[in-house]
Amino acid sequence: MSTLPHVLGLRCRECGARYPEAPQYVCDECFGPLEVEYDYDYIRAHVTRERIASGPWNLWRYADLLPVAADKAVGIPSGFTPLLRADRLGRALGLKHLYIKNDTVNPTYSFKDRVVSMAISKAVEFGFDTIGCASTGNLANSVAAHAARAGIRAFVFIPSDLEWAKINASLVYGPTLVAVDGTYDDVNRLCAMLADEYGWAFVNVNVRPYYSEGGKTLGYEVAEQLGWRAPDHVVVPMASGSVLTKITKGLDEFKKLGLIDNRPTRVSGAQAAGCSPIVNAFVQGKSHAEPVKPNTIAKSLAIGSPADAPYALRIFRETGGAAEVATDDEVIEGICLLAETEGIFAETAGGVTIAVLKKLAQSGRIAPDEVTVAYVTGNGLKTSIVLEGRLAEGLHIKPTLRSFEAALSERQERQAA
């Protein structure tokens, strides 16, 4: 079905069996997950830094390495978000070359716009008229928005205990939102059945091989924005583990294609202590994760049965990276530390990343000289409920000079006490 000269088809990540392009995600031979396979010789002969740099200011500048043609793209142009030098945060943590990849400023304020861009474009190309997802919150926002702009029907499925800000940030685009009494893993199982039953494209189920490729652009962008070089160390939040594996794949592809030097990148992963199946397996030296029942304020990362765990675990081993957890209190401290030092308001997943970055730096698992990139993947306005009662309150005054001065000196006295 592929008309793209650089795409060969789908290939099983476990047994290597090959399939033509289709809305299929499991291998018929071994039930392993399928992945898009590319013709790297073809890509090497066509792609250059100049060709990429002259592309649009969004993720479609990397269309030569993606499974969708730029002129078939539907939804909202996403990506090419800022990579910021974080000198003040770096000084606080003892890191000399720290950067934040600020993916809070995507169209629906999380990195999910990248993966949805791939999935919805491919779903329309396959002829689907309805798109759906199993979501921990951000994915539902993104699917609803991109479907609205593409003019197709959306059904978004979420666990019923999500933050109201994330529920409204889906409903506003007019999808059918389905709140399910259960965990994300329950929602995901239901959606696998619905995909078969109704013949809809579920972005992270039956078109998952295309969906996940969108995560590679977070690797490409960082390399291009660093002046065409790989970082020495990246810290990535993990739910299913997919985006961590795809950032790694993106950097590896740039190295393989000669777009950047073959400098190694250590890849480290971050999870919330209340949902850390991948980190648990890493600490125990296992190659597979045992499922857990999530209990954390980092709801966007609350996947108890992470599909990409074995691949993430292999990446930590092969790159010399680490994996660490953050407690709920550390998540809130991480959100505040990033906000106070760099002016970036991240959601709970960003708090997880910054808290883990801090632990890795303080324990020497990130060296002070490493060029380090922390991925901040979602916006704090959607989870600001977790900060209630946790921030220094503002002053409340009458509209007079006296009232202001009284309130200010009262506050200064309180701080001195």
Ligand X SMILES: *Cc1c(COP(=O)(O)O)cnc(C)c1O
Task: Say how far apart CA 178 and CA 155 lie, in whole Å.
Answer: 7
Query: How many other CB atoms are there within 10 angstroms of residue 136's CB atom?
Result: 26
What are the helix (H) ranges across 127-276? Answer: 138-150, 164-171, 184-198, 208-213, 216-225, 242-256
* Residue 237 interaction partner, one of Zn ion, ligand X, none, beta carbon < 5-8 Å per kind: ligand X
CB 137 within 8 Å of CB 299: yes
Q: Which of residues 25-64 bind ligand X (CB under 6 A)?
A: none
Q: Find the binder of ligand X among 377, 380, 383, 386 (CB under 6 A).
A: 377
Would you count residue 358 as binding ligand X (CB under 6 A)? no
CB 279 within 8 Å of CB 325: yes
Query: How many other CB atoms are there within 10 angstroms of residue 162's CB atom?
Result: 21
Query: Taking contact as CB under 5 A, which single stretch among the options 25-33, 69-77, 327-335, 371-379 is the one that binds Zn ion?
Result: 25-33
* Residue 110 interaction partner, one of Zn ion, ligand X, none, beta carbon < 5-8 Å per kind: ligand X
Q: Find the binder of ligand X among 67, 277, 378, 380 (CB under 6 A).
A: 378
* Residue 337 interaction partner, one of ligand X, Zn ion, none, beta carbon < 5-8 Å per kind: none
Q: Which of residues 338-357 bind ligand X (CB under 6 A)?
A: 347, 349
- Write b or e for each residue in 286-295: b if 16 or more Cβ atoms lie within 10 A of its Cβ, otherwise e: eeebeebebe
Taking CB under 6 A as the rule, which mask of x and - marks residues 226-255 in contact with ligand X? -----------xxxxxxx------------
Pairing mode of beta strands 371-376, 233-237: parallel
Residue 180 CB partners (closer than 8 Å, separation 6+):
157, 158, 159, 160, 186, 187, 190
* Residue 378 interaction partner, one of Zn ion, ligand X, none, beta carbon < 5-8 Å per kind: ligand X
Would you count residue 179 as binding Zn ion (CB under 5 A)? no
Residue 145 CB partners (closer than 8 Å, separation 6+):
75, 76, 107, 108, 113, 173
- Report residue 183 as tokens: 């965990």
Taking CB under 5 A as the rule, which mask of x and - marks residues 28-67 in contact with Zn ion? -xx-x-----------------------------------
Q: How far is the CB of 26 from Zn ion (least distance, A)?
A: 8
Task: Say how far apart CA 288 and CA 298 lie, in whole Å.
Answer: 22
* Residue 29 interaction partner, one of Zn ion, ligand X, none, beta carbon < 5-8 Å per kind: Zn ion
Number of residues that bind Zn ion (CB under 5 A): 8
Would you count residue 18 as binding Zn ion (CB under 5 A)? no
Write the DSSP string, 247-286: HHHHHHHHHHTTSS-----EEEEEEETTB-HHHHHHHTT-
Q: Select 47 or 218, whichever has its Cβ closest to ligand X.
A: 218
* Residue 192 interaction partner, one of Zn ion, ligand X, none, beta carbon < 5-8 Å per kind: none
Task: Say how far apart CA 199 and CA 55 lie, in whole Å.
Answer: 35
Q: Find the binder of ligand X among 78, 121, 300, 383 (CB under 6 A).
A: 300
- Give me the residues that bind ligand X (CB under 6 A), please: 110, 112, 138, 237-243, 300-301, 347, 349, 377-378
Binding site for Zn ion (CB under 5 A): 12, 14-15, 17, 27, 29-30, 32
